[in-house]
Structure formats: C-alpha cells, structure tokens
Amino acid sequence: MENKDDKYFINEFLSNERTFLSWIRTAVGILVFGFVTVKFSLFLKHIPTKNIQEIPIHISDYTVNMGFGFLIAGALIILLAYLRYIQTIKLLKKGEYKYSSLLVTIFSVILFIMVISLISYLIASNY
C-alpha cells in the first residue's frame, strides 16, 4: 500500500521533470529566434543590390552577433537546465532541496539586456 510520503515524493520528481522540460522549450524558442536572426541577416547580405536599388538596406554584423548571442544563450540554458535538473534530483533524494531563483534571475537579466540591445539596434537602424 502506498503512503502519502511516497506520493509526495513522486510528485516532487515529476514537478522537477516538468520544470526541466519547460526550460528546454524556452531554450528551443531562443535557439530558433537566434537561428532566424542569423539566417535573415546573412540573406540580406547576399541579396543582389542592383535589383533593389530603391530600397535602402543597412547591413551590419550586429544582428549576426545578436543571433549568435541568442544561440549561445539557448545552448547555455539547455546545459544549465540539465545540471539543475540533476542537482535537484540528488537534493530530493537526500531530502535537502531548497528553492533558489538564482538561475532564473541570471537568465532573465541576460535575455532582457539582449532584447533591449536588439530593440535599440532596430530603432537606430531606421534613422
């Protein structure tokens, strides 16, 4: 017969797995955004300018660098989410798990800075 502690213990492991999968979905979204940013920038660089002379296109390596920044951020999120997942399993097994929002705070700040710099670039490139 199952006792309440076993059910609670299983729920904690499943909650940890759902959190890990949420981080992976977030990382995939960031990776896709970085990939699209890089590919679109490279596409604009290779458009023959003689066909679109009337449209001024400002081509810069900034968007390529931002795209690679998002790709690196996505890869780091996957790595750190996995490490956090493993660490949480170990702590749950020992009964020593304590909540920490450090990882969430760090990535929120990094992604916020990246998005603000991308918005700044887009505003500056229109003028």
What one-character-per-residue DSSP string does 21-69 give? HHHHHHHHHHHHHHHHHHHHHHHHHHS-GGGGTTS-----SHHHHHHHH
Mean per-residue pLDDT over the chain, rounded: 81
Identify the pLDDT of residue 25.
94
41-51 tens-digit pLDDT: 777 666 655 55
| Domain total of the chain | 1
Backbone angles phi, psi at 47, to 5 degrees: -70, 130
Domain that holds residue 79: 4-125
Task: Using the predicted structure, report yes or no on whether residue 1 has a pLDDT greater than 50.
Answer: no
Task: Using the predicted structure, report yes or no on whether residue 4 has a pLDDT greater than 80.
Answer: no
Lowest mean pLDDT among 25-34, 39-48, 66-75: 39-48
- 78-97 per-residue burial string, b: 16 or more CB within 10 A, e: under 16: beebeebbeebbeeeeeeee
- Percent of the residues in the chain that have a pLDDT greater than 70, as a whole number: 80
5-14 tens-digit pLDDT: 667 778 888 8
Q: What is the pTM of this model?
A: 0.72
